[in-house]
Amino acid sequence: MLKRLFDIVFSLLGMILLLPLLLVIALILKLESKGPVFYKQVRVGKGNSDFKIFKFRTMFIGSDKKGLLTVGDRDPRVTKTGFFLRKYKLDELPQLINVFLGSMSFVGPRPEVRHYVNYYSVDDMEILSVKPGITDYASIIFRDEAELLKTAKNMESFYINTILPQKIALNKKYINSASLLVDFKIIIKTIQTILG
C-alpha cells in the first residue's frame, strides 16, 4: 500500500514538474523525424500479463522490425535525438504514465519483451510476481548495455546467454530483499549513475 501510494504521488508530481521538459522533447522529436512522439511496446508485467510500456520514440519508424536489441552510436536505426535521450535515460520519462496507471512501479525488475521471457525457467517466473519498474539493480549494473552488445559477434546470443541470466539473478536478489528503503537506495544510485 505504501509503495503504491508513493508511486501515485511521485509519478503525478514528476509529470507536473517535468511537463516543460516533456513538451520540449516531444517538439524536437516531431521536428526531427516522421512518426509519433511516443513509442508503445508490449512488455511482460506482473502475473505474466502483457502491457504497453511508454517511451519517447528514439528510432525511425519501422526500426523495431529489424531487431529487438540496439547498439549505441553505431545503430543507424536510432535518431540523433534518440542517442541523446537514451544516453541520459530521458526516453524512459513517459513511463511515469505507466507508474501512475499502475502497470509499473518506480522500482522493480525491468520488464522484458515476451521473446526473452520465453527463456525464463520455472523458477525465474517469480520475477513476474511483482510489478516491473522504471529502474532496478540491473539498470544500474548494465548502464552501458549497448556498449557491451557492440563487442559481441552475435548480439542475440550474447544477450540471452550472458546478460539475461545476470539480470534474472539481480531481479531475484531484489525480490528477496524488497523494501521501501531498498527502493530509495536504488533510486538514488540510479540518479548518481545517470549523472556520473
How confident is the model over 23-69, as pLDDT tens digits? 999 999 999 988 999 999 999 999 999 999 999 999 888 777 766 67
pLDDT digits (tens, 9 = 90+) for 110-136: 999 999 999 999 999 999 999 999 999
Distance in angstroms (rounded) separating the CA atoms of residues 133 and 174: 11
- Round the average pLDDT of the chain to a whole number and report it: 92
Q: Which three cell numbers stand for residue 190?
A: 540510479
Distance in angstroms (rounded) separating the CA atoms of residues 64 and 28: 21
Is the pLDDT confidence value at 150 over 90?
no
Q: What is the predicted pLDDT for the residue at 116?
A: 96
Residue 71 pLDDT class (50, 70, 90 cuts) = low
Q: What is the predicted pLDDT for the residue at 151?
A: 85
Q: What is the predicted pLDDT for the residue at 73?
A: 59
From residue 104, give the alpha-carbon distance in Å to each of 25, 62, 74, 157, 159.
22, 26, 30, 28, 24
Is the pLDDT confidence value at 87 over 90?
no
Residue 94 pLDDT class (50, 70, 90 cuts) = very high
Of residues 161 and 33, more confidence is placed in: 161
Residue 189 is inside which H or E element, if any?
helix 180-195
Domain residue extents for the chain: 2-195
- CA angle, corner 79, sides to 24 and 113, nearest 5? 95
Q: What is the predicted pLDDT for the residue at 194?
A: 86
**149 within 8 A of 142, measured Cβ to Cβ:** no
Is the pLDDT confidence value at 185 over 70?
yes
From residue 147, give the alpha-carbon distance in Å to each of 105, 142, 170.
27, 10, 20
Distance in angstroms (rounded) separating the CA atoms of residues 140 and 188: 11
